[in-house]
């Protein structure tokens, strides 16, 4: 699902002004040099050279574990486990899912980090250390820098590899439907190797795309277009997703081209190729 409209960049001049509106959006685009997953789970791929972004969702069942990043050179892997709403909405065609647990490992350093909305656990060899999101912590040890911003975010750097920001999303404890979840933002992607892959990791390498034939879509506020990417011709939809790094509660709108059907044609292979058996 695309979660927002063209918003303030939408042209009031009807479809004649659509290309102008898209140009304005690009000019106003907040350059966020990150690749991220947040929300339901929304993958946002910033493409700085285009002053634009691509986005897609993965619709999979709660309990599924997805390989997000895998770099055999630095030894860094990131996997995420999906959770769903507290109860199933029988009317919805697609159920909401979010990341409820992240596993970040550095094989070379024998280091594992498990993050849930309740706690952060570090396993270094046989030693285990735990924190909660109520802690304000700055931890530095060999190969690891970790900063917990109380009840907001976790900043992590492993070895000489990429940095990560994990955002905590907390809902009202008695909310009848939703539960707490996590967002993941990968920074300094150039510090991982060219062999990096995974649902997110494959986009650590430059990606090129061309947008053609912007035209009305099924939603009058969200135009469709043809995208040429990886020698595939896809129908994409203009929308917005949220970047929550600066404001975990409200977020900042990021305009992007939404790729339908679990990122088909944009990701390598199909999304089920990235399902793994466990967090580590």
211 lies in the same domain as 194: no
Which tokens belong to 143? 């190969």
Closest C-alpha among 207, 160, 156 to residue 186? 156
Q: Is the pLDDT of residue 21 over 50?
A: no
Q: Which of 181, 204, 227 is the last residue of a domain?
A: 204
192 lies in the same domain as 211: no
184 lies in the same domain as 226: no
Highest-confidence segment of 95-99, 158-162, 213-217: 213-217
78 lies in the same domain as 192: yes
Which residues are CB-neighbours of 205 under 8 A, at least 6 positions away? 194, 196
42 in a domain, yes or no? no
Pairing of strands 52-57, 252-259: parallel
Determine the pLDDT at residue 33.
57
Quickly state the pLDDT bin for 93 (edges 50, 70, 90): low
223 lies in the same domain as 89: no
Q: Which of 182, 204, 226 is the last residue of a domain?
A: 204
Closest C-alpha among 51, 35, 58 to residue 255? 51
The residue ranges of DSSP E strands in 2-96, in sequence order, are 35-38, 42-47, 52-57, 65-71, 76-84
Can you name the residues that pair with 5 across neighbouring β-strands? none
Which tokens belong to 207? 């990606």
Per-residue pLDDT, averaged over 172-183, amounts to 84
- Percent of the chain exceeding pLDDT 70 equals 86
Per-residue pLDDT, averaged over 271-280, amounts to 97
182 in a domain, yes or no? yes
Q: 89-115: buried (b, 16+ CB within 10 Å) or exposed (e) per residue?
A: eeeeeeebbbbbbbbbbbeebebbbbb
Per-residue pLDDT, averaged over 14-26, amounts to 41
41 in a domain, yes or no? no
Q: What integer best gives the mean pLDDT of the chain?
A: 85
Judge whether 144 and 164 are in contact, CB under 8 Å.
no
Q: Is the pLDDT of residue 121 over 70?
A: yes
Per-residue pLDDT, averaged over 225-239, amounts to 96
219 lies in the same domain as 238: yes
Domain span at residue 232 reads: 7-33+205-276
What is the spatial distance between Cα 123 and Cα 261, in angstroms, rounded to a whole number? 37
38 in a domain, yes or no? no
47 in a domain, yes or no? no
235 lies in the same domain as 270: yes
Maximum CA pair distance of the chain?
Answer: 64
175 lies in the same domain as 211: no
Termini Cα distance of the chain: 29
96 in a domain, yes or no? yes
248 lies in the same domain as 128: no
Quickly state the pLDDT bin for 262 (edges 50, 70, 90): very high
15 lies in the same domain as 135: no
186 lies in the same domain as 225: no
Q: What count of Cα atoms within 13 Å lies in the side-chain half-sphere of residue 156?
A: 25
Per-residue pLDDT, averaged over 163-188, amounts to 88
Number of domains in the chain: 2
Which tokens belong to 204? 């650590």
Which tokens belong to 47? 């493409």
What is the spatial distance between Cα 244 and Cα 257, in angstroms, rounded to a whole number? 19
Q: Which of 185, 204, 223 is the last residue of a domain?
A: 204
Determine the pLDDT at residue 91.
67
């Amino acid at each position: 699902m695309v979660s927002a409209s063209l918003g303030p960049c939408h042209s009031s001049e009807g479809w004649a002004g659509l290309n102008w509106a898209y140009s304005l959006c690009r000019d106003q685009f907040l350059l966020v040099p990150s690749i991220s997953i947040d929300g339901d789970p929304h993958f946002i791929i910033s493409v700085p050279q285009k002053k634009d972004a691509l986005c897609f969702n993965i619709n999979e069942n709660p309990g599924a574990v997805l390989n997000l990043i895998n770099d055999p050179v630095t030894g860094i892997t990131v996997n995420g486990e999906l959770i769903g709403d507290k109860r199933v909405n029988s009317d919805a065609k697609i159920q909401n899912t979010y990341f409820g647990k992240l596993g970040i490992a550095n094989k070379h350093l024998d280091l594992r980090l498990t993050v849930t909305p309740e706690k952060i656990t570090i396993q270094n060899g046989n030693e285990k250390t735990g924190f909660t999101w109520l802690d304000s912590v700055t931890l530095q040890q060999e190969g690891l820098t970790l900063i917990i911003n109380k009840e907001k975010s976790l900043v992590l750097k492993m070895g000489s590899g990429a940095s990560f920001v994990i955002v905590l999303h907390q809902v009202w404890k008695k909310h009848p439907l939703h539960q707490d979840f996590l967002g993941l933002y990968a920074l300094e992607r150039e510090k991982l190797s060219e062999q990096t892959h995974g649902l997110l990791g494959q986009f650590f390498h430059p990606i090129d795309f061309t947008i053609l034939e912007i035209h009305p879509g099924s939603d009058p506020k969200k135009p469709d277009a043809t995208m040429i990417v990886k020698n595939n011709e896809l129908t994409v939809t203009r929308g917005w997703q949220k970047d929550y790094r600066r404001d975990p509660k409200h977020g900042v709108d990021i305009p992007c081209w939404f790729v339908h059907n679990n990122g088909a044609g944009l990701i390598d292979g199909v999304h089920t190729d990235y399902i793994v058996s466990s967090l580590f």
